[in-house]
Structure 1
Amino acid sequence: MLAAERRDHLLGLLTNEGKIIAKDVAADLGISEDSVRRDLRDLAAEGLCQRVYGGALPVSPAVAGYTARQAVAPDGKRKVAALAARLIRPGGAVILDGGTTALALARALPHELPCTVITHSPTIAAALLDHPRAELFLLGGRLFKHSAVTCGAAAVEAAQNVSADLCLLGVTGVHPEVGLTTGDADEAAMKRALASRAAETYILASSEKIGTASRFRVLPWQKITGLVTDAAPDDPVLAQLVCLGVEILRAG
C-alpha cells in the first residue's frame, strides 16, 4: 500500500471508528508498527490527529486561536451556554472559565441575576460589566492570549484563595478513555486549580469537541459533576460516558 493510501486509510479510521490503534492497523495492513507511527507523526504534524499512547484520536477543532474559535459551532455553544446558565442560582457564587463557550454563557445570564462571578478571563468580566447585580472577581496573572485568560503561578495562587458553589469549565477535548483535555499545559493546570475550588464542576462542551482529544489532560471523569453538551442523544461517545457514571445534561 502506498503512503498516500495508508494516509487515507488512517483518516478513514479516525472518521468511522473514532480512534486508531497502531498495532491493529499494522496487522491489518501487513506493515510494521514503526511505519504506522511514522504516518501518525506526519498526520499529527499537519494537525489531523492527536497522537496518544498506542495510536491516535481525532484532534479537537477547538485548538485554534480565540478569534477563529468564535466562528466554530456558534449555535451549539449558544445552546450549551443557555442550559449551563440555568445552573447558576440567585445569590450563588460561580467560577466561570474563559473561552468562547463561557463567553456565550456570560451573555446568556439574566441581566438582573444576583450572583458572584469569579473568573480569570478579562473578556468574561467585561461581558458582565452591565449586569448590575453580578459581583465580579477577576483573577490576575500572565495573560494567555490564545484563550484570553490568565494562567501561570500567580493565577493559580489567586485561584487557591477563592471558593464557589459551582465551576463551569471549558475544554477542547472530551474522550471516554483520555478524559478532558486542552492544548496548553499552563491552561490545563489553571483549569484544575479552578475546579478544585468549587463544590460542583460541570464541563461545557459543544458537539464538535465530543470524541476528540488535545495534548494535555485537565481532569479525569471522577473529578467532575457532569457534562453539558448539545451532542446528539445517540452519540456513541455519550453512551460510553454514561457507562462511566458521567451525568449528561443535554442542550436541545
Structure 2
Amino acid sequence: MFAQERREQIIKQLRIKKRIEVRQLEEIFQVSGATLRTDLRELEKEGKLLRTHGGAMLLENDLQKEDILSGRKNIEQKKFIAQTAIDYIKEYDSLLLDSGSTTLEFARELKNFKNLKVITNDLQIALELQENPWIELYLIGGKVRNRFRLTNGVISLDFIKNIAVDKVFLAPNALSAMDGATTSNEEMRAMKQAMMASSTESYMLCDSSKIGKRAFCKFADPSEFQMMFTDSGISQKEKEALEKKGMQITICE
C-alpha cells in the first residue's frame, strides 16, 4: 500500500472511531510505528486530524461535516422514527427538541398539532414550526454555530436551566452499550445534558447507522431514556446489549 492510500485509510478509520492510537494502526496496516507517526504528522499539516499522545483524533470540523452529510442519508428511516415517536405526544405537552436531522423530521410531524409548547435550539426546526399558530414556539438564544443551524453556549444553557418541560427528544451522534449516548464536542454535550435535566421524560431518536459507534463526548447512559426509537437496521446483538443496559427500544418500520 502506498503512503497516500494508507493515509486515506487512516482518515476513514478516524471517521468511524473518532480517535485512534498508533498501536491500533500498527495492527491494521502492519507497518512500523515510525512510519505511522510520519503519516499522522503529514495529515496534521493538511488539517485533517489532531495528533494526541500516542495517536490522533479527528478534528471537530471534520466530525461536524460528517454529521451534515449523514443528515442527508437514511431519510426514510428517520421518517419512520418520527412517525412512531409522535404517538408519545399529547395535547398541552411542553417539549424540548434537540438539533438534528431526525428531530427535524419529528418536528415536521408536529405541524398539525394544537396546544403544544415547543422549545428548540435548531433554527430550521423553528422555521418549520412557526407556520403553526397553535404551537407556542420558543427559540433558545445564544451563539449561532455558522453553517450548523443551531444555537449553543452559555446564554443557551442559562435559558434551558430556567425552564421545566414535560419531554425532551434528543438525537445523538452515536450510541453504543459500552459508551452510551455520545456527541461530537463538549458544547453539544452540555446542551443535551441541560435539556435532559430540565425535562421530566427523555426520549432518543436514533437511526440505526449511529448504533454501535461512538463520538467524542458522552452525555448520557442508555438507562436515562424512557424510550429509544430506531429503525429495523439495528442488529440483534446491539439491541440486546442496549436492553441489558436498561434501554427500552421501539423499532420503527
* TM-score (normalizing by structure 2): 0.76
Matches of 2:140 and 2:24, distance apart in 1: 47
Instruction: Write the mapping of 1:30-45 to structure 2, written as runs, cut at 5 A.
Output: none
AA of the residue aligned to 2:69? A
Consecutive unaligned residues in structure 1, runs of 5 or more: 15-19
Moved more, 63-72 or 173-182: 63-72
Other-structure match for 1:122: 123
CA drift of 1:232 comes to 3.2
Q: Is the contact between residue 169 and residue 203 of structure 2 (CA under 8 Å) also seen in structure 1?
A: yes
Deviations, residues 108-140 of structure 1 (Å, cap 9, x unaligned): 125133211011122111101122211111110
* TM-score (normalizing by structure 1): 0.76
Query: SS of the counterpart of 1:86?
Result: helix
Matched, 1:191 2:188: no
Other-structure match for 1:219: 220
Instruction: Write the mapping of 1:75-224 to structure 2, written as runs, cut at 5 A.
Output: 75-224=76-225
Q: Is the contact between residue 173 and residue 181 of structure 1 (CA under 8 Å) also seen in structure 2?
A: yes
Consecutive unaligned residues in structure 2, runs of 5 or more: 15-19
Instruction: Write the mapping of 1:55-94 to structure 2, written as runs, cut at 5 A.
Output: 63-64=64-65, 68-94=69-95
Moved more, 146-155 or 166-175: 146-155
Moved more, 119-128 or 228-237: 228-237
Change (3 A) 1:21 1:89: farther
Structure 1 stretches of 4+ moved >4 Å? 1-11, 20-48, 53-56
CA RMSD of aligned residues (A): 3.9
Matches of 2:177 and 2:33, distance apart in 1: 24
Other-structure match for 1:242: 243
Deviations, residues 186-237 of structure 1 (Å, cap 9, x unaligned): 1111111111100111111111111111111121223322211114364321
Work out the number of aligned pairs and report it.
Answer: 246
Matches of 2:76 and 2:42, distance apart in 1: 33
CA drift of 1:63 comes to 3.8
AA of the residue aligned to 2:136? E
AA of the residue aligned to 2:241? Q
Deviations, residues 147-176 of structure 1 (Å, cap 9, x unaligned): 321111110000011111110001111111
CA drift of 1:65 comes to 6.0
Query: SS of the counterpart of 2:72?
Result: coil
Matches of 2:70 and 2:105, distance apart in 1: 12
Q: Is the contact between residue 168 and residue 204 of structure 1 (CA under 8 Å) also seen in structure 2?
A: yes
Query: SS of the counterpart of 1:85?
Result: helix
Change (3 A) 1:82 1:213: same
The percentage of aligned residue pairs carrying the same residue is 26
Matches of 2:251 and 2:80, distance apart in 1: 9
Matches of 1:37 and 1:88, distance apart in 2: 52
AA of the residue aligned to 1:159? I
Q: Is the contact between residue 117 and residue 136 of structure 1 (CA under 8 Å) also seen in structure 2?
A: yes
Other-structure match for 2:17: none
Q: Is the contact between residue 172 and residue 181 of structure 1 (CA under 8 Å) also seen in structure 2?
A: yes
Query: SS of the counterpart of 2:88?
Result: coil
Q: Is the contact between residue 62 and residue 172 of structure 1 (CA under 8 Å) also seen in structure 2?
A: no
Moved more, 90-99 or 22-31: 22-31
Matches of 1:215 and 1:124, distance apart in 2: 25
Moved more, 122-131 or 151-160: 122-131
